[in-house]
Amino acid sequence: MTEGNFVDYVKLHVSSGNGGKGSAHLHREKFIEKGGPDGGDGGRGGHVIIRGNSNLWTLYTYKFKRHFKAGHGEHGGKSRSTGADGEDVYMDVPLGTLVRDRETNDVIFEITQDGEEKIIAKGGMGGRGNWHFKTSTNQTPRYAQPGIPGEELDIILELKVLADVGLVGFPNAGKSTLLSVVSAAKPKIADYEFTTLKPNLGIVEYRDFKTFVMADIPGIIEGAAEGKGLGHYFLRHIERNSVLLFLIPADAKDIREQYDILLDELKRYNPEILDKDRFIAISKSDMLDNELKAELKAELDKTLPVEYMFISSVAQQGLTELKDKLWKMLNE
């Protein structure tokens, strides 16, 4: 998936269909002059329905079409015939999509399961025909109910990536490189900060044809929780990952300090994120010789509060062990 095709935030306008009018028809037939009321009910207006689709990874479908309108219900007819219901409109979204009210920014619901359907705009009820209103004192009512109007709503669709493993790190820590090596994903890679501006997803193949999904989340900077840089835009994608893999380069001035800053940003954004399993990968470790690695290991064993591992995406060192560890964490 190219970066331009990854759309995770769209504003849309949806409107359901109006209900059809009830009929005020009076029955007329040869030799029956006053057959009484036989007007049918109007049909229901079409709903606008949001449906989960596990084959979708992005809201790209809604990049160009922003208005969705369901069909109106048809009017009732004679002989108590009910009008046809308006055509429903289905909007397929990837799993992990939040639906918000654009005016209040409140979450209306979220879609997390394949095939899950939620009505976002309910079609108006059809009006009742005049035969409903016949009484002993009013045998020929010449009125029927009009249909109820449909609903109109401005909404926001916001995607929070659903992945098994989320890569967390500062810009240029080697997240995109790791994803490109362990999966078939082709993220943009360059030697400058903020190369990645949208999350990239990759399917990581494990032993015996097993797989798990890894997400390369754009780099976090200090102050991201307050919205500095593209803070909230990045951080919301981490909320749905099962395991957080912190990627810290071996040439960092202070590995423990970098880990603490990253953890603090996550905590300030959403403290619940800290309940997730965490693991640290020391990237770019091919730059270290055995002596330097031994010195660094002795220091990290004392200072780091979680398990860690030395890896190199370029030299493909430690990647099999990393996948083993991640698989174990996902399935414990």
Any idea which residue has 């055995």 for tokens?
A: 290
Between the alpha carbon of residue 130 and those of residues 25, 34, 86, the distances in Å are: 7, 15, 21
The first and second tokens of residue 12, run together, are: 């849309």
Between the alpha carbon of residue 173 and those of residues 120, 285, 331, the distances in Å are: 41, 12, 27
Separation CA 93–CA 57 (nearest Å): 8
Answer yes or no: are the C-beta atoms of 274 and 268 closer than 8 Å. Answer: no
Give the annotated binding-site residues for GTP: 169-176, 194-198, 216-219, 283-286, 312-314
Separation CA 104–CA 158 (nearest Å): 15
Q: How many residues does the chain have?
A: 332
Give SS3 for 101: strand
Give the annotated binding-site residues: 169-176, 194-198, 216-219, 283-286, 312-314
Give the annotated binding-site residues for Mg(2+): 176, 196
Separation CA 292–CA 294 (nearest Å): 5
Give SS3 for 4: helix
Separation CA 204–CA 11 (nearest Å): 32
